[in-house]
Structure 1
């Protein structure tokens, strides 16, 4: 019999209806959630009730607690895989954090739901059931953390929430999904060829902020971040990685003060690249010491930069090329 550890953290998947049609996110305990679902037969499922939080209440300390709970379960070599239930709003961030900070060949699956357990057409039961089958599948060893949603299997690095309410709430633009689950049968079509992980045990995750670029934007938020002692800033530029010229003095000041600055793009697909020579271009920024963030979106780049800084890794620019 395959053993699956089910770690619950709250979210819509564990919500109850309140008055006036509002939901109390994370109201159900792990055992309550498991009791509602028709979990598949033939599995030994252990429930670990870690948090009962809306996912926008999750922070780095809680992500680290999830990581530690996973590692504790995987100390048992008879455990086949781990499933983590999580709210969808920050699911992609926690999943990628776990992807960067865990290093076990067995599947770690993160899932959630767009509808509560009581709603018509809820996706709670199918997402949880499918995640258990994925966590037990040997084809998905050595691929890093996975996200299972609406019968699809995604890599944590590229998955993102793309719809506020639709059951097809997650996608990986440009990269697609790794496989599907159809009537309890897992089919895998592609796998990542590389998985990176970094030790952060005992290290405080530093503060890293995201600053978005738009027409006329200046250095107001960059200056505020620096004044409040951030260790890293992720710039969400446009196109190939451009910002306005009005941000440059503040960017340079941040670099001069030892803040690590990473450039990303707001485009859904494509990499940051030094394609132009004008002031504020990716080429100009790189010459000043800004790290080009390749094809990472700003939220994933923030997670990665924070983990790299906590790890003490020196060659951050090379790490972003992986």
Structure 2
């Protein structure tokens, strides 16, 4: 019999309706949530009730506590895989954090729901059941952390919440999903070719995301520097451009030893030095900005923060994959 550890952290999947008709996110304990679901009878499921929080209450500190809880479960050689239930708003960030800090070959699967357990047409039970089946499958070994949602299996690096409420809440633009779960059968069509893991040595530092738009200046860059940011992720446009008036603040931050990564707000494509003008990717690269390839700003922030805490030297090669 396969043995799965189910670690619960709260979110809509564990929510209850309040007296005023709103939802209290994470109100259900892990054991309460598990008791509501028709879990596979041929798989042993151990429930670890870790957090009862909303998705936006997740932090690097709590991500590290979750990672420790996962490692503790994986100390048992009989554990086949891990399932983590999580709020959907920050699920993609936690999934990627675990992906770049975990090197166990056994499956680690994250899931959540767009609707509460009490709502008509809820996706709680199907998502949880499919995640457990996925974590018990040999096909998911050595794939890295995955997200299971609406019968689809996504790689942690590229998965993204794309709809605020629809049951098809997640996608991977440009890359697609890895496989599906159909009638309790797990099928995989592609796997990531590259895995990486970083060993966190120090406290994870502050890393801020700053979005570029017409008329943007250096205000938020200066504020990030003044408030102790050790890294900044710029979400530029197109191939990785920012406004010329941001450049002075970018250069000042680099001169102070702050690592800056350039990403793009485009859903697909890579940052690339295609143009030569002040604020272009080419100009910023000459100044010391690291081009973040096809990483979105949230994933780039997670990776940069982890790498800074692991004392790795950082250059563009670390954003190649």
TM score, norm. by length of structure 2: 0.99
Does the Cα contact within 8 Å between 1:112 and 1:149 map onto a contact in 2? yes
Give 4+ residue runs of structure 1 displaced > 4 Å after superposition.
none
Work out whether residues 308 and 316 of structure 1, in 8 Å CA contact, stay in contact via their aligned partners in 2.
Answer: no
Partner Cα distance (2:206, 2:102) in 1: 21
* Deviation of 1:20 (Å): 2.4
**Structure 1 residue matching 2:9: 3-state secondary structure:** strand
Partner of 2:197: 197
Query: Any gaps of 5 or more consecutive residues in structure 1?
Result: none
C-alpha displacement at 1:316, in angstroms? 3.5
CA RMSD of aligned residues (A): 0.6
Give the Cα–Cα distance (whole angstroms) in 1 for the partners of residues 21 and 274 of structure 2.
51
Deviation of 1:19 (Å):
1.9
Tell me, in whole angstroms, the C-alpha distance in 2 between the residues paired with 1:288 and 1:316: 13
Give a deviation string over 1:78-114, Cα, whole Å, max 9, x none: 1000000000000000000000000100000000000
Contact 2:14–2:28, Cα closer than 8 Å, also in 1: yes
Encode CA deviations 1:182-221: one digit per residue, 9 max, x unaligned.
11000111100111111115x2111000000000100000
Checking the alignment, whether the CA contact within 8 Å between 2:240 and 2:281 is kept in structure 1 is: yes
- How far, CA to CA, are the matches of 2:21 and 2:163 in structure 1? 21
Q: Report the Cα distance in structure 1 between the residues aligned to 2:139 and 2:193, rounded to whole angstroms.
A: 14
Do 1:9 and 1:85's aligned partners in 2 also have CA atoms closer than 8 Å? yes
Q: How many residues get paired?
A: 321
Confirm or deny that 1:101 pairs with 2:101: yes
Aligned to 1:241: 240
- Cα distance in 1 for partners of 2:236, 2:100 equals 24
Q: What is the rounded CA distance, in whole Å, between the counterparts of 2:310 and 2:79 in structure 1?
A: 28
Deviations along 1:224-266, whole A, 9 cap, x unmatched? 0001111000000000000000100000000000000000000
Structure 1 residue 317 displacement after superposition = 2.4
> SS at 1:153's partner residue?
strand
Within 1, Cα distance between the matches of 2:32 and 2:20? 23
Structure 1 position 315, deviation (Å): 3.1
Q: Which residue of 1 aligns with 2:91?
A: 91
Distance in 2 between residues matched to 1:189 and 1:43, nearest whole Å: 24
